[in-house]
Amino acid sequence: MQFDFTTLAPRDRYRLLTNFVGPRPIALVTTRNTDGSNNAAPMSFFNVMSSDPPLLVLGIASKPDQEKDTAANIRRTGQFAIHMVDMALSDAMLIAGLAVPMGVDELSLAGVETEPCETIDADRITGASCVFECRTERLLDWPNRVLVIGEVSHMHVRRDCLDAEGRYVNPETYRPIARLHGDSYINSDRQFDLIAPELGDVWTE
């Protein structure tokens, strides 16, 4: 089948894009509300786009004149923390995805313990596998969308999620989940290696 994205209804573009661009890693984003409380929301329009500078990107939807709390907070403070979602954070992720009013602390609702970040004004979930502290590098605005490009200022990794030397990921303990489509998610239960051939084996000048 062919789909003409220039004439497709927005909900159909959403369905096709999110059904086929996946699995997508999930950022559980924490920000500071105006009253000082925590805000948390999951975002699967999310990925790393550069390591030098270290840039993570979020795509946050909005209704006319009503931004999601995450977008409004990032616009105001320029600071946010991204938790990589794994099974241990999956319940908190679902609760944080509910449309609770601004000022209601989704992390308290989820019953998780928090502590302050090191370099930004946001809280992070105690014991999370991996958290990136970010500052806004730039915002790209559309009427119904903002792309947040964040520069990582600090990273927390739970010790057991790294190998003995503390250099590479330990895939036995770092087990992120990712979004497929709708309510379908995937984890890293079936990891496998793909080894690229030598260039000389496939191409000669």
Ligand X SMILES: Cc1cc2nc3c(=O)[nH]c(=O)nc-3n(C[C@H](O)[C@H](O)[C@H](O)COP(=O)(O)O)c2cc1C
SS3 134: strand
Instruction: Measure Cα distances from 20 to 4, 14, 16, 121 in Å.
Output: 15, 10, 6, 36
Segment contacting ligand X (CB under 6 A): 42-50, 131-139, 164-172, 194-202?
42-50
- Are the C-beta atoms of residues 79 and 139 closer than 8 Å to each other? no
Segment contacting ligand X (CB under 6 A): 38-46, 132-140, 170-178, 189-197?
38-46
Binds ligand X (CB under 6 A): choice among 32, 68, 124, 156: 68
SS3 7: coil
Contact call for residue 83 and ligand X (CB under 6 A): no
Total chain residues near ligand X (CB under 6 A): 17
Alpha carbon 118 to its chain centroid, in Å, reads 19
Identity of the amino acid at 142 = W
- Are the C-beta atoms of residues 110 and 96 closer than 8 Å to each other? yes
Identity of the amino acid at 119 = T
Contact call for residue 30 and ligand X (CB under 6 A): no
Binds ligand X (CB under 6 A): choice among 59, 121, 170, 187: 59
Residue 163, phi then psi, degrees to nearest 5: -70, 180
Binds ligand X (CB under 6 A): choice among 44, 79, 114, 129: 44
Contact call for residue 22 and ligand X (CB under 6 A): no
Binds ligand X (CB under 6 A): choice among 99, 164, 196, 202: 99
d(CA 102, CA 33): 7
Q: How far is the CB of 95 from ligand X (least distance, A)?
A: 10
Contact call for residue 139 and ligand X (CB under 6 A): no
Tokens 């999956």, located at residue: 90
Minimum CB distance to ligand X smaller for 59 or for 78:
59
Give the interface with ligand X as residue ranges (CB under 6 A).
26, 39, 41-45, 59-61, 68-70, 97-99, 179
